[in-house]
Chains A and B, each alone.
Chain A
Amino acid sequence: MTKSIQLKIVTPTLTVFEGEVEHFSVPGTMGPFEVLYNHAAIVSKLVPGMLKFAQTGKAEEHYFVSGGFLELHQNQGIVLADGAEHSSKINIAEVESAMENVRQRYSAHEINNDQFHIELDLLAARLAVAKQS
């Protein structure tokens, strides 16, 4: 079986993952999408959300990416993430208390509506990924 995709997940400070995967999915601006073998060349902006991939004979891995880009051509994909963390590394309690903190700051009018939603969405996306594992 050589029908695998070379996937690399890099952030400005380090390479998070590098290896062959069967398929993966990323949170694109128009919603999450799945990339299978022989996908057309694509450059896509990513929104905060879940990145999933499956290696042959292994369980699916989940990562949280806080935004970035995907560049894919000829079954070589690079995810240029602003930040990426493995689902098992996310501390659920910590994220929940951070969400509570954001809500409080909003009700105390320390942050405006837009900022409130941006921050809350980011944390909610992180929480969703953490609960996957």
Chain B
Amino acid sequence: MATLREIRRRITGVKATSKITQAMKMVAAAKLRRAQDAMIAARPYSRALDVLLKDLLSNAGDEVAKSPILFGRTIREEHTDNVLLIVVSSDRGLAGAFNTNIIRFAEARIRETYAAHFASGRVGLITVGRRCSDHFAKRGYTIVQAYPGIFSKLEFQTAHEIIEQATALFNDAKYDTVEVIFNEFKSVITQRQVAERLLPVLDKQQLIETQHSKASHEYIYEPEPSEILDVLVPRHLETQVWRALLESNAAEQGARMTAMDSATRNAKDLISSLQLSYNKARQAAITKEILEIVGGAEALAKA
């Protein structure tokens, strides 16, 4: 049985830990708020851009089908195309299963959806956040570029750099599909792992749809729709990456807050059970002492 001093030491230790987890929870809560605000602030732009893009595509007509960025290249043979995945994790741990989930999801995507590509070395990765950068670097994946440590000061410029590089690789025909994989913020306690295609912008189905849809208004275009598209499409892609970064950031803070909350609660449970055994041990010691005294007194009385 543990001695009184051992139990007391453990209680002090667990209390200290619970103070840390409690503080981390508060910090995560404050960061979560800011992350959610940033997410909401980015919405009007991306919504307006989406509407504009749809209108332009339905007006651009046949030119759409010719643009590789929008519709993709004609692939010569099945699975001879190259896939670039942008995986977004966090920089720091202690966020529950946040990073494990996204890494597992990304690996499943590589080994299942792109199994044939992976087997022939046609999958490249751009890793965002220190966690997945470290993970994939250690396991011999092809890493085109790593962006560790971007979440301490999240800026739109980062989204711009990531997609600029991906677009350049796409345009050089080094990669034919670009996807972004990230934790989507569903609520404070739930994250959903998603893969979204960035390039080409449209798949076959969507191309047909845009060609048959009508613009919502008879716009005057200045300059020509195709010229506006040249500038608008990069903006659209940037916004999509930016959204992924913001969502992942908010999801991370939510996950950390939940994880730290349950850690604090576990610590409290542990403290109360330790306190109980401490009391029991103390009581046992007292009883033992009394018995000794009584036994000693009786022995003396007999003598």
Contact = CB atoms under 8 A, between A and B. Distances in A.
A42 B227 contact: no
Given A41-B220, A43-B219, A13 B49 contact: no
B222 A12 contact: no
B56 interface: yes
Interface string A13-45: 111000000000000111000000000111111
Interface residues of B, number: 30
Interface stretch (B38-46, B67-75, B92-100, B114-122): B38-46
Interface in B197-250: 216-223, 225, 227-228, 231-232, 235, 238-239, 242
Contacts, number: 77
B262 to A, nearest CB: 33
A110 interface: no
Given A10-B44, A43-B52, A69 B239 contact: no
B41 A43 contact: no
A5 interface: no
A13 B242 CA distance: 9
A121 interface: no
A73 B220 CA distance: 10
Chain A residues touching B, majority SS: strand
B48 interface: yes
Nearest to B222: A44
A69 B220 contact: no
Interface in A50-87: 67-69, 71, 73-74, 78, 80, 82
B220 A43 contact: yes
A28 B220 contact: no
- Among A40, A43, A82, chain B packs the most CB atoms within 10 A around the CB of A43
B52 A12 contact: no
Nearest to B51: A71
19 contacts: A10-B48, A12-B42, A12-B45, A12-B238, A12-B242, A13-B42, A13-B156, A28-B222, A29-B222, A30-B223, A43-B220, A43-B222, A44-B220, A45-B227, A45-B231, A73-B219, A78-B48, A80-B52, A82-B235
Given A14-B41, A44-B220, 4 more contacts: A42-B220, A45-B222, A45-B227, A69-B52
